[in-house]
Amino acid sequence: MSDTTQEKLQLGILSKDVIKHIDHWCTKFPEEKKQSAIIPALRYAQDAAGGWLSEDLIKAVADYLDVPHIKAFEVATFYSMFDLEPVGKYKIAVCDNISCKLNGADKIVDHIKRRLGVNCGETTEDGRYILRTCECMAACTNAPMMQINDREYHENLTLEKVDEILDDIDKQEDGK
Using rule CB under 6 A, residue 137 touches ligand FES? yes
Q: Are the C-beta atoms of 5 and 19 separated by less than 8 Å? A: yes
Q: Show contacts with ligand FES in window 63-102 (CB under 6 A).
A: 95, 97-100
Which CB, 137 or 165, lies closer to ligand FES? Answer: 137
Give the per-residue contact string, 98-117, with ligand FES (x = CB under 6 A; - = no). xxx-----------------
| Smallest separation (angstroms) from ligand FES to the CB of 81 | 16
Taking the C-alpha atoms of residue 95 and residue 135, their distance in angstroms, rounded to an integer, is 6
In angstroms, the CA 11 to CA 5 distance is: 10
Stretch that binds ligand FES, among 8-16, 39-47, 81-89, 135-143 (CB under 6 A): 135-143
* Cβ count near 121 (within 10 Å): 10
Residue 159 as a binder of ligand FES (CB under 6 A): the answer is no
* 143 makes contact with ligand FES (CB under 6 A): yes
HEC string for 20-38: HHHHHHHCCCCHHHHHHHH
Is 148 a residue that touches ligand FES (CB under 6 A)? no
Closest to 69 measured CA to CA, from 44, 31, 29, 42 = 42
The CA angle 90-97-79, to the nearest 5 degrees, is 50
Q: Are 72 and 62 in contact (CB under 8 A)?
A: yes
Tell me which stretch binds ligand FES (CB under 6 A): 47-55, 56-64, 117-125, 134-142: 134-142
Does 39 bind ligand FES (CB under 6 A)? Our answer is: no
Binding residue count for ligand FES, defined by CB under 6 A: 12
The verdict on 140 binding ligand FES (CB under 6 A) reads yes
Give burial (CB, 10 Å; 0-12/13-18/19+) of 126: exposed
Residues making contact with ligand FES (CB under 6 A): 95, 97-100, 136-140, 143, 145
